[in-house]
Chain A
Amino acid sequence: SAVISQKPSRDICQRGTSLTIQCQVDSQVTMMFWYRQQPGQSLTLIATANQGSEATYESGFVIDKFPISRPNLTFSTLTVSNMSPEDSSIYLCSLGRDKAYNEQFFGPGTRLTVL
């Protein structure tokens, strides 16, 4: 299994500001995913981030609101821009192995509260 860390683990932000969440993996991976999870709810995929290409966003999520960087095979960032209280959520990064039948590994999550 891989070790995945996220920074920050939690934050409280003001409306209209932006927050960048970092995801660091201890091994090189091709595919990384960013999810949003309302407390106690299911996961919603925001985007898939492959190194060397633009992130692929899911319906309802746009690059201007959630810009993603993937500068190398062990690191990715997700920015939540121009935040509103509706963005309060847990944000999770995960990695996928090259083979699609492999399980995903998840980071511990970033708990974001927007006032």
Chain B
Amino acid sequence: AQSVAQPEDQVNVAEGNPLTVKCTYSVSGNPYLFWYVQYPNRGLQFLLKYITGDNLVKGSYGFEAEFNKSQTSFHLKKPSALVSDSALYFCAVRDMGTTSGTYKYIFGTGTRLKVLA
């Protein structure tokens, strides 16, 4: 079965420092991996995705993620954190789908990022 794990409930980082939010996955076949961000009292916003190709994926708001097949990881990174990056971050993986062609996404438990001024 497909699954995704976010081992950290919360990550604290000082403003201006690099940040990493961790995600590991378990899939059968090629993984389709996603990162979403949720700001307080708002819906989820798509940040970036890995489908195939370059292992370093760039996304919105200066975020990037590195796909590592050998470690089955897809960590979210940003070179210099901003206070406004403080939010809840979700990693997700697409499942294999059904014979009827439908599919669904499996979300991690989320990591709360707190950037300190």
Q: State the A residues within 8 Å of B (CB).
A: 1, 4, 31, 33, 40-43, 45, 48, 50, 56, 92, 94, 96, 100-101, 103-109
Contacts and interface: CB of A to CB of B under 8 A. Distances in A.
Contact of A108 (B43, B107, B109): B43
B109 A56 contact: no
Nearest to A102: B49
Contacts of B44: 43, 92, 94, 104, 106
Contact of A103 (B42, B49, B109): B49
Interface of B: 32, 34, 36, 42-46, 49, 51, 88, 90, 94, 97, 102-105, 107-110, 112
A42 B97 contact: no
A2 to B, nearest CB: 11
6 contacts: A4-B43, A45-B105, A50-B102, A96-B103, A101-B32, A106-B36
Contacts of B97: 100
Given A40-B112, A100-B32, A103-B34, A45 B43 contact: no
Contacts of B94: 100-101
B46 A103 contact: yes
Given A4-B43, A40-B88, A100-B94, 19 more contacts: A1-B46, A31-B102, A40-B110, A41-B110, A42-B107, A42-B108, A45-B104, A48-B102, A50-B102, A94-B44, A96-B105, A101-B32, A101-B51, A103-B34, A104-B44, A104-B105, A107-B43, A109-B42, A109-B43
A50 B101 CA distance: 11
A12 to B, nearest CB: 16
B46 A105 contact: yes
Contacts of B104: 33, 45, 48
